[in-house]
Amino acid sequence: MMHESVARALNEQINKELFSAYLYLSMASWCDAEGYPGSAHWMQIQVKEELFHASLFHGYLLQRDVPVVLEAIGKPEAEFDDLNGVFSAALAHEQKISASINEIYRIAREEVDPMTETRLHWFINEQVEEEQNARDILDKIKLAGAQPAGLLLLDNELAARPEPTLTPPSFAG
């Protein structure tokens, strides 16, 4: 049986992943309104990734026969100074999500729950990628400086982000 504190943290993580999707949807709206359609597309792909993450945590709770408790999703930030501000907020958010997953890992270890520890490995690796994606784009924004041509090029590049495969990891069956 899963320890109550692990179950609580995993339930909270569903909410955090759904909030992530909501935040990226808000960022997509800002990018679209400010004339960055490629960045808006990149954010929309991110929304799908986040919904996928939420579904994986949800599926795991069901597999372990743990009651799912869904709470209200908070209102995401909607105002950003510029493109750098949007992706800086994305990176800061991903760092918070990484810390949250690391904390679940710590609790699972404390409560001797190797099933959850093992399940979290995929998410821990995923967070390395999530942080790197935002950081790489921030580096490019820095290189572009305030040059509209540079930002336009970057926006075109972000328009090419492919649809996520969303293949459940083998553990998700």
| Interacting residues toward ligand OFO by CB under 6 A | 17, 20, 50, 53, 94, 97, 130
Nearer residue to ligand OFO within complex by CB, 94 or 117 = 94
Of 47, 43, 46, the residue nearest 155 (C-alpha) = 43
Q: How far apart are CA 3 and CA 115, in angstroms?
A: 12
Instruction: Please count the other Cβ atoms lying within 10 Å of the Cβ belonging to residue 108.
Output: 23
CB of 24 to ligand OFO, least distance (A): 8
Check if the beta carbon of residue 23 is closer than 8 Å to that of residue 93: yes
State in angstroms the smallest separation of the CB of 93 from ligand OFO.
6
What one-letter code names the amino acid at 28?
Answer: A
For the bound state, the minimum distance from the C-beta of residue 98 to ligand OFO, rounded and expressed in Å, comes to: 8
Q: Which is nearer to ligand OFO, 5 or 100 (CB)?
A: 100
Q: Which CB atom, from 13 or from 144, has the smaller least distance to ligand OFO? A: 13
